[in-house]
Amino acid sequence: MNEKAIEIPDERIEQAIFLIRRQKVILDADLASLYGVPTKALNQAVKRNERRFPSDFMFRLTKKEKNELVTNCDRFERLKHSSALPRAFTEQGVAMFTPLNFHPVECLNLFNWGEDHLTGAFKCT
């Protein structure tokens, strides 16, 4: 199958990258949005392929991290009353979606940018 990568403006991807636990990550909802699939579908793919996502590729936010995210980022207001804890994917975790038949997203090179390029403006250590 010869599929082209989805072209997404750099600024949209930059806004999706957060520094959490001293790692650059993309949250499940943002990654699903970049792939054009529902968050539920993305998380189901992760659940079916758990071996591809060890803890250094993906982790769940703690309740404290989720609350801090909701407090600092208005776009995550919908998580305020959710009992679900979002998943956070590192660069390696994002790369694991290609073999799962998700269209490639050209965002991996943005993980290599320094902290000063993170416009998501949320840092949770």
Round to whole Å and give the CA distance between 76 and 73.
6
Section 81-90 average pLDDT: 91
| Domain boundaries defined on the chain | 10-124
Spatial contact of 58 and 94, defined as CB atoms under 8 Å apart: no
Round to whole Å and give the CA distance between 92 and 96.
6
Q: How far is CA 90 from the centre of its chain?
A: 7
pLDDT at 65 over 60: yes
Section 43-62 average pLDDT: 92
State residue 109's pLDDT score: 55
State residue 124's pLDDT score: 46
Using pLDDT thresholds of 50, 70 and 90, give the confidence band for residue 27.
very high
Give the single-character DSSP code of 105. B
pLDDT at 104 over 80: no
Rg (Cα) of the chain, in Å, rounded?
A: 14
Spatial contact of 89 and 18, defined as CB atoms under 8 Å apart: no
State residue 11's pLDDT score: 73
pLDDT at 119 over 60: no
